Structure 1
């Protein structure tokens, strides 16, 4: 007689758990599919193809996976790169932050100067310099972009990275902040996640001075060590990615304004007791008073005495450096200017350790495809870096961009396997070649004056005095600009466009000049050309809409503002303009 096999019966709770898990998952999958079918999903990669499938273009939505709202918009320059790269083309890609992009005016940044140098060195050589730098990003974001930039089949990456590592999105944050960033990035890879992050935006804290004061980080803070490790890892990943794809790398150290940029934030040492703090404050007050009276030796003595009590206060080093330079002790002044930067508790500038990370990485990769260009050392060799090369803390003026481009060009030439050395045109030659002119210079100064009137600049030493002096200088310079200078600018732009009618940068610059000259027709013509070249660039589209509206061309303005809303559905300026213009 055989035994009867027991029949397995699934417990009722197991079915309920499976239903509770699978039903929402199925609904989510259906919802995701529907959202994608109706066009609610936006690609997250750095590159997209143009509608004709002939070119790669930068995805203006790329940064939405990291930022919300306005922080994700208008930070990437437009470009086109043939998908089927011509065999005779040497393609160079610039990777970096706002300083590499060329802020405040990329038309005159080192990427454009480098392209000019290389093309003049061999007019028969087809050179493309693609500026893939982005404003406000850090190396973690750039490492993500680099994976996509491989699709361009570049011959060379030029890396100028390091200014946003401590204060950037992935900077000196705790594990919770990094986890939130990771969650947001993960959600952005789904249509439902993109919709949710638009409805419930993250990372929208108002960045006023109170915000920045709360987020100061001392040089000795362990979180800074984590930042340096992260930078090293991200740069190493980019170099390894390049090596695996037979792409050369020119790795640059980062130059910053030491002499004319006081620290953004200063902190006392954590072990400073009240009695020592009181003595420090007395000596510091005495030193400041002596400096104001021109008693430089006395000021130096008091600053040094205070520094022996607490050597971690960034602003003290800056004041001391200023006095030492006046006393003719330039080498010692340089050391203290550098220390003021390194100790800055709001590290918007690359510090010494960041540049050492870059040099260490170059040494590790020196047997491979990586070449170091020490921009920091090249600039320091010409004196203490200051306003002779910078607009503000890190953004280069034309002379600074020229120095960087001339420093990079020989390494780029060699990395491309070309014979000899490229000629290095003068600042004046490069200015003429790129249509740089007096009006453009003043326009850039006006933009920088506006930038430095906002946080985080407000706590800097002598901020109000410097702003007032710069505003007075700019006002006098703008009033003093002559019709001849304006015509010279127009002639320079016309000549540039005769050479390259599709120069998007020059069309925009010509439009700004035309607006200043109250020539609405010329402004509209050049903005129309700029938008036709790159209809995805939101700031240009918004400017075009505004100019059309001011000219009374309401229907054409509405077309541009609706274009802006397709690019950025949450754009308040465009929504308000469409409502207002539709009523007329």
Structure 2
């Protein structure tokens, strides 16, 4: 009891002198809480001091500003979250924050509203909360938070943090809020954190997506324990945001995130879990209940989860509401619209440009629902006007103001970039329409044209792919990377002469410093082989082999070319080199057997054909080779 009174006395004393005061609701799990600030101070030509997005943050955030001193009769609104809040694939101008900024003067003309877009590209809840800590120092009235889509993007470990009891977690959080704890924490020297690997609990000052280090989502594997801790951490940070808002005497409005369900499959589905295809079949059959369940399972069971799992949305949906905490169920509201417009409530490309980013119209609708929620909560002035009561000319003015700010070229480039990302991720069904958008908006675009053609190829629509490639070659004959892609398709179609014509140009046009140059040169050699031009193939492959002497694909093709020009000795050495690493490669045994046959070395040929038969008993080339060996042996008797 004496100890408790002593601590209380210390806390009251620190309160009286203003020590240890902070809105910092530090996340004890993460090492980046004191990250590089989002805001920097500057003074304009009139001597007025502003806070604006720091220059080194403009890669991830919109360029925004607000006055350091909040003017009288002003409501300061900070919109936080990931790339949806940012406005991707565009920017703030067409985001729900941008729309809010335009609606509010018409809705509540007697109040000045400052809407600051603090959405960070690829920001997960723990980074959003850190940004919120910083913004809490600048007299916020309302935080609007759209989060949940990026929780699995970065590697991090949790050690045994979540092994603590709820009582321990509560005590840790409570102590962190006391002035006594913060004063002691500020006085204790901090040890330099040890160097750590990529799975360290301490994250980089900015987002370091796992996908940046891999070709597609290959880095992701099923890890239920880690995923469960990610879920716990998400819930922890949502509660933490509520605490930060309350400490700043601000309101907070959470948005339940929504995703594209029916027009974007899992980024890495488990081979045995074909939920998405089951959902497509059910949707086409009109069985929407089964389709909805299957599409939801496809998202929830995605090994590379780049969309918010259903339980994240449900957790936000079920947050206890109060005078200063509200929830807008964007997903459910959008489903209602979809039901009215299309007769089903399964969300797809009608509302999303890719897997998660809403269309401009969906952002517009979200902004209107946010205003209705703010009015219902009593967070706007009593005299504010309902959106439904706005005169048509006011609505037209808002729409024109937003759409007039759209830079058509920037919009086209945004569509191209989105197509590139989705193509890279293997989401060709999503990339293709975005590439078409870019071509339309930019009135023709080389990179988008060839991305579209390549997407159609991977989607199995080969005839359409050839048409788009041909259109690209005619319109952009100097876009060498596109020529290389078309040449690759023609190789697959065994149109070797046409492939050679394209790949010769691509090889000359793509500089040797570009890895595509050597890929193009290798493909040209394969086209020469297919056309039985062994001399040209051999010449190209010698260059490729000199560039990449350990590339066994090149070694194998060089062996074929060597055999084709009659250099059997070189071919044998090259094939045997492959067998040193891959002794069970059937094709190499067969090719080597035929080289020995050409030298009339039937015993050595027989050895390789027999090995091929042991490895592949039904292989027709192996059987045919043994037949030829048998015939030659009989004729020699």
Aligned 8 A contact 1:85 1:153 in 2: yes
The answer for the alignment partner of 2:36 in structure 1 is: 44
The answer for the alignment partner of 2:76 in structure 1 is: 91
The answer for the alignment partner of 2:53 in structure 1 is: 58
Residues 1:140 and 2:140 aligned together: no
**Alignment match of 2:59 (pick from 67, 74, 81):** 74
The answer for the alignment partner of 2:350 in structure 1 is: 388
**Alignment match of 1:336 (pick from 294, 304, 317):** 294
The answer for the alignment partner of 1:418 in structure 2 is: 381
Aligned 8 A contact 1:47 1:57 in 2: yes
The answer for the alignment partner of 2:360 in structure 1 is: 398
- 5 Å-filtered alignment, 1:221-240, equals 221-240=224-243
- Summarize the Cα distance change of 1:338–1:444 in structure 2 as closer, same or farther, 3 Å threshold: farther
The answer for the alignment partner of 2:117 in structure 1 is: 131
Q: 1:166, CA displacement in angstroms?
A: 1.4
**Alignment match of 2:245 (pick from 226, 239, 242):** 242
The answer for the alignment partner of 2:99 in structure 1 is: 113
- Summarize the Cα distance change of 1:61–1:336 in structure 2 as closer, same or farther, 3 Å threshold: same
CA distance in 1, matches of 2:439, 2:288: 33
Provide, for residues 83-132 of structure 1, a one-character-per-residue CA deviation record: whole Å limited to 9, x for no partner. 21112111110011111111122211110111212111122321111101
- Summarize the Cα distance change of 1:456–1:356 in structure 2 as closer, same or farther, 3 Å threshold: farther
**Alignment match of 2:416 (pick from 430, 438, 449):** 449
Aligned 8 A contact 1:138 1:170 in 2: no
The answer for the alignment partner of 1:213 in structure 2 is: 218
Residues 1:180 and 2:200 aligned together: yes
Provide, for residues 471-516 of structure 1, a one-character-per-residue CA deviation record: whole Å limited to 9, x for no partner. 35643554399xxxxxxxxxxxxxxxxxxxxxxxxxxxxxxxxxxx
Q: 1:435, CA displacement in angstroms?
A: 2.7
Aligned 8 A contact 2:210 2:219 in 1: no
SS in 1 for 2:443: helix
Aligned 8 A contact 1:77 1:131 in 2: yes
SS in 2 for 1:479: coil
Q: 1:339, CA displacement in angstroms?
A: 1.4
Aligned 8 A contact 2:60 2:121 in 1: yes
CA distance in 2, matches of 1:444, 1:47: 27
- Summarize the Cα distance change of 1:434–1:203 in structure 2 as closer, same or farther, 3 Å threshold: closer
Provide, for residues 323-353 of structure 1, a one-character-per-residue CA deviation record: whole Å limited to 9, x for no partner. 1111111222122111111111111111101
Count of residue pairs the alignment pairs up? 361
Q: 1:178, CA displacement in angstroms?
A: 7.6
The answer for the alignment partner of 1:379 in structure 2 is: 334
Aligned 8 A contact 1:228 1:357 in 2: no
The answer for the alignment partner of 1:498 in structure 2 is: none
Q: 1:75, CA displacement in angstroms?
A: 0.8
- Summarize the Cα distance change of 1:255–1:442 in structure 2 as closer, same or farther, 3 Å threshold: farther
Task: Compare 45-54 and 328-337 and name the one that shifted more.
Answer: 45-54
Task: Compare 410-419 and 243-252 and name the one that shifted more.
Answer: 410-419
CA distance in 1, matches of 2:211, 2:283: 38
Gaps in structure 1 of 5+ consecutive residues? 1-41, 63-72, 189-201, 269-309, 482-584
Provide, for residues 26-75 of structure 1, a one-character-per-residue CA deviation record: whole Å limited to 9, x for no partner. xxxxxxxxxxxxxxxx993333221467112233446xxxxxxxxxx611
- Summarize the Cα distance change of 1:165–1:480 in structure 2 as closer, same or farther, 3 Å threshold: closer
CA distance in 1, matches of 2:83, 2:355: 12
- Summarize the Cα distance change of 1:318–1:179 in structure 2 as closer, same or farther, 3 Å threshold: closer
Aligned 8 A contact 2:40 2:52 in 1: yes
Residues 1:255 and 2:213 aligned together: no
- Summarize the Cα distance change of 1:334–1:428 in structure 2 as closer, same or farther, 3 Å threshold: farther
CA distance in 2, matches of 1:345, 1:207: 17
Aligned 8 A contact 1:266 1:344 in 2: yes
- Summarize the Cα distance change of 1:356–1:440 in structure 2 as closer, same or farther, 3 Å threshold: same
**Alignment match of 2:443 (pick from 444, 464, 479):** 479
Q: 1:179, CA displacement in angstroms?
A: 6.5
Aligned 8 A contact 1:243 1:368 in 2: no
CA distance in 2, matches of 1:135, 1:153: 24
Provide, for residues 245-289 of structure 1, a one-character-per-residue CA deviation record: whole Å limited to 9, x for no partner. 210011111011112111111124xxxxxxxxxxxxxxxxxxxxx
Q: Give the structure, 1 or 2, with the largest relative contact order (CA under 8 Å, sep 6 or more).
A: 1
- 5 Å-filtered alignment, 1:269-418, equals 310=272, 313=273, 316-360=274-318, 362-363=319-320, 366-381=321-336, 382=338, 383-413=345-375, 414-418=377-381
The answer for the alignment partner of 1:432 in structure 2 is: 400
Aligned 8 A contact 1:47 1:59 in 2: yes
- TM-score under structure 2 length normalisation: 0.51
CA distance in 1, matches of 2:54, 2:441: 39
- Summarize the Cα distance change of 1:243–1:469 in structure 2 as closer, same or farther, 3 Å threshold: closer
- Summarize the Cα distance change of 1:432–1:85 in structure 2 as closer, same or farther, 3 Å threshold: same
Q: 1:184, CA displacement in angstroms?
A: 5.1
- TM-score under structure 1 length normalisation: 0.56
SS in 2 for 1:212: coil
- Decide which structure has the larger Cα Rg and report it: 2
Gaps in structure 2 of 5+ consecutive residues? 1-33, 162-195, 339-344, 446-637
Task: Compare 346-355 and 207-216 and name the one that shifted more.
Answer: 207-216
Q: 1:322, CA displacement in angstroms?
A: 1.4
- Summarize the Cα distance change of 1:330–1:258 in structure 2 as closer, same or farther, 3 Å threshold: same
- 5 Å-filtered alignment, 1:513-552, equals none
CA distance in 2, matches of 1:471, 1:83: 42
CA distance in 2, matches of 1:93, 1:58: 13
CA distance in 1, matches of 2:216, 2:158: 14
SS in 2 for 1:380: helix
CA distance in 2, matches of 1:183, 1:384: 36
